[in-house]
Amino acid sequence: MTSMLAADSSVARNDLDDALWWRQASVYQIYPRSFADANGDGIGDLKGVTSRVPYLKALGIDAVWLSPFYPSALADGGYDVDDYRDVDPKIGTLEDFDEMTAALHQAGIKVIVDIVPNHSSDRHTWFLEAVAAGRGSAARERYIFRDGKGEHGELPPNNWTAIFGGSSWQRITEPDGTPGQWYFHLFAPEQPDFNWKNPEVHADFETTLRFWSDRGVDGFRIDVAHGLTKNLDPAFDHLKSVLSGQDLFEDGQHPIWDRDEVHDIYAEWRKIFNEYTPPRIAVAEAWVEPHRRARYASSEGLGQSFNFDLLQADFRAADFRKIIGDNLAFAADSGASTTWVFSNHDVVRHATRYGLQRTGAQDEAQIMNVGGKQWLLDGGRQDEVDTELGLRRAKAATQLMLALPGSAYLYQGEELGLQEVGEEIADEHRQDPAFFRNKGVEIGRDGCRVPLPWESQGSSYGFGAGGSHLPQPQWFSRYAVDAQEQDPASTLSFYRRAMALRHELQSAEELAWEASPNEHVLHFSRPGGWHSITNFGTTPVALPEGELLLASAPLEDGLLPANATAWLRA
Ligand code: NOJ
Ligand code: CA
């Protein structure tokens, strides 16, 4: 089977009608404003993506997922959408979008776009209408407006804290100029939450899903998929950490998160997805209890759900093994395949996380907090990161991930081995609301959103002919695409080789654990004789018999060194 697929892999990837393409796809996440800038204004754009399609094709990915490119004031990196059915004029036009999609499809790459249904921006027509229309109006019913507490309504309806800090309620000024009602926002005040009890909200998102599906989009990534339906009954007011998700209920009755009725929405959406050939796919960003992922991933629902377990895990064999086993079982429950991911636009790049501490575990709080970058404040300074170790482990982990059944998500720049940018981004250049609203606590997510270095020389390292909307440190030069393309030992060459092999070796979604020399080594095989062995320990280990296909670090006297993965054909 392998040789046939090898010869034909480009044909297989070009088959845009294959309804099951997503099950073991590799999906590359593009953060459009930081990928490539075609017109030199310092902001990445859709033409920039189009210009880099040959690069994406050479990387061997099956799909791209584009973070929001819609009109936005960028109060939250584009996750504050002014208009769901247009392109931000700062980064292109709908024609550019069509051109980009056509070029990607031509290269056999599918297109996934981000849908942000929990909240719009406060510049969305509906929100402007809601404020203008006044108390009790139908327009206000599209959002979550309440009267304040206190004698003059001067206090927020409750004391909940938004995810980016501050109150989760914001007071508006009524059309007559008086202080007025309050609206609810899970995230920044510029991101008012929709009222999903309102049928108009349902209808509008259905229109949006059809709009992009009709334009040829292959799938959707659903932002905050577990947060849309809410029960803001005052009975819950006393719950303190309600928005952080730390007190997730498992009974589907939490006031905000993972409520059972959220699935009614996705059942409606599924009908729309299935109107298309092949059916459009969707993947939920749902931070829920692992066993509750299955409903998001079911074929009556979105169809797939992110699992962020490896992203939050220590670099330890036992932890990886448990997570892999559990998630393959959860996936089997839902009938979907699972998704694996180490890096995205919300978290510290894994090449940096893994270099943060020489041996010990990564503290979850250092990594997450809606991607909070607490690690720079309380977890360590940039100069304490062992970048070499970090990259070495990141490559080992990624190679392991690429051998797993299910889909693998890569984040732009990880194929270059890019490190997180830390203190080098001065406060005045920061963009993330998590930084501004949580000063001194969170450094924010800008450090993983710095524009890519395409060339070792030049003003923005080949990002564009002009500058870069977030400053790139000098060391970005060392990671540039042009140099790595020439170097067979580069991280980019490693990723390309790994992706090509993945296409060649990928078969049934099965995994068997194999005996390993010690507890720090994970060895599994896939049907067809594909073996993956990762050494999480500190001493080199012997490899089993077989043809060595790829190793994330050079073997030492024929042994697999520490912090490395090898693939064998046996
Ligand atoms: C999750 C997105 O990945 C993140 O970037 C964003 O800030 C929040 N959702 C709010 O939309
Ligand atoms: Ca531009």
Q: Which of residues 494, 523, 539 is at a domain's end?
A: 494
Pocket probe mutation, ligand 1, options 346, 445, 446, 448, max atoms within 8 Å of Cβ: 346
Does ligand 1 have an atom closer than 6 angstroms to the CB of 416?
no
428 carries an active-site annotation: no
- Cα 457 to ligand 1 centroid, rounded to whole Å: 33
> Does residue 182 contact residue 148 with C-beta atoms inside 8 Å?
yes
The answer to whether residue 470 sits within a structural domain is: yes
Q: For 530, phi and psi rounded to 5 degrees?
A: -90, 115
User: How many folded domains does the chain comprise?
Assistant: 3
Beta bridge partners of 451: none
Q: With 70 as the cut, is the pLDDT of residue 359 above it?
A: no
Over the stretch 377-427, which tens digit does the pLDDT of each residue have?
334 455 567 889 999 999 999 999 999 999 999 999 999 999 988 878 888
Q: Which atom of ligand 1 is nearest to the CA of 445?
A: 5
Q: Whose atoms come closest to the Cα of 96: which ligand?
A: 2
CB-side neighbour CA atoms (13 Å) of 32: 31
DSSP output for 383-428:
GG--HHHHHHHHHHHHHHHHTSSSEEEEETTGGGTPPPP-TTS-GG
Higher pLDDT among residues 301 and 361, named by residue: 301
Query: Which two tokens mark 427?
Result: 């406060």
Does ligand 1 have an atom closer than 6 angstroms to the CB of 79?
yes
Does ligand 1 have an atom closer than 6 angstroms to the CB of 223?
yes
Does ligand 1 have an atom closer than 6 angstroms to the CB of 116?
yes
pLDDT at 529: 97
Q: State the CATH number of the domain containing residue 557.
A: 2.60.40
Regarding pTM above 0.75, the answer is yes
Over the stretch 40-85, which tens digit does the pLDDT of each residue have?
999 999 999 999 999 999 999 999 999 999 999 999 999 999 999 9
Give the residue-averaged pLDDT of 331-350: 92
Residue ranges of E strands in 373-529? 407-411, 512-513, 521-526
Q: Which atom of ligand 1 is nearest to the CA of 434?
A: 7
Q: Indicate whether 482 and 531 sit together in one domain.
A: no
Q: Which of residues 184, 209, 235 is at a domain's end?
A: 184
Q: Which of residues 494, 522, 556 is at a domain's end?
A: 494
The answer to whether residue 243 sits within a structural domain is: no
Give the residue-averaged pLDDT of 235-252: 72
556 carries an active-site annotation: no
The answer to whether residue 500 sits within a structural domain is: no
Q: With 70 as the cut, is the pLDDT of residue 366 above it?
A: no
Spatial CB neighbours of 498, under 8 Å, sequence gap ≥ 6? 398, 399, 402, 550
Q: Indicate whether 354 and 211 sit together in one domain.
A: yes
- Cα 51 to ligand 2 centroid, rounded to whole Å: 12
Q: Indicate whether 294 and 397 sit together in one domain.
A: yes
Q: Whose atoms come closest to the Cα of 32: which ligand?
A: 2
**Structural domain harbouring 530:** 514-569
The answer to whether residue 432 sits within a structural domain is: yes
pLDDT at 248: 65
- Give the chain's mean pLDDT: 90
> Does residue 67 contact residue 345 with C-beta atoms inside 8 Å?
yes
Q: Indicate whether 180 and 204 sit together in one domain.
A: no
Q: Indicate whether 401 and 528 sit together in one domain.
A: no
Question: What number of other Cβ atoms are within 10 A of residue 289's Cβ?
Answer: 12
Query: Which two tokens mark 290?
Result: 């692992």
Q: Indicate whether 426 and 533 sit together in one domain.
A: no
Q: Indicate whether 396 and 370 sit together in one domain.
A: yes
Beta bridge partners of 219: 112, 281
Over the stretch 149-160, which tens digit does the pLDDT of each residue have?
999 999 999 999
The answer to whether residue 277 sits within a structural domain is: yes
pLDDT at 348: 86
> Does residue 14 contact residue 22 with C-beta atoms inside 8 Å?
no
The answer to whether residue 241 sits within a structural domain is: no
Q: Whose CA is nearest to atom 6 of ligand 1?
A: 79
Give the residue-averaged pLDDT of 422-433: 88
Kindly give the pairing relationship between strand 110-115 and strand 219-222.
parallel
CA 476, 477, 479, 485 torsion: positive or negative?
positive
Q: Indicate whether 161 and 58 sit together in one domain.
A: no
The answer to whether residue 477 sits within a structural domain is: yes
First to last CA, the chain: 14
Over the stretch 6-47, which tens digit does the pLDDT of each residue have?
333 343 444 545 899 999 999 999 999 999 999 999 999 999
pLDDT at 381: 52
343 Cα distance to chain centroid: 7
Give the residue-averaged pLDDT of 99-116: 98
Q: Whose CA is nearest to atom 3 of ligand 1?
A: 346
Task: Categorize the per-residue pLDDT at 373 as very low, low, confident or very high, splitting at 50, 70 and 90.
Answer: very low
Higher pLDDT among residues 365 and 380, named by residue: 380
Q: With 90 as the cut, is the pLDDT of residue 2 above it?
A: no
pLDDT at 362: 42
pLDDT at 104: 98
Task: Categorize the per-residue pLDDT at 312 as very low, low, confident or very high, splitting at 50, 70 and 90.
Answer: confident
Q: Indicate whether 313 and 433 sit together in one domain.
A: yes
Q: Indicate whether 424 and 540 sit together in one domain.
A: no
Over the stretch 448-471, which tens digit does the pLDDT of each residue have?
999 999 999 998 999 999 999 999
Q: With 50 as the cut, is the pLDDT of residue 356 above it?
A: yes
The answer to whether residue 509 sits within a structural domain is: no
223, 415, 420, 504: which one is catalytic?
A: 223
Q: State the CATH number of the domain containing residue 351.
A: 3.20.20.80
Q: Indicate whether 96 and 131 sit together in one domain.
A: no
Q: Indicate whether 328 and 294 sit together in one domain.
A: yes
Q: State the CATH number of the domain containing residue 141.
A: 3.90.400.10
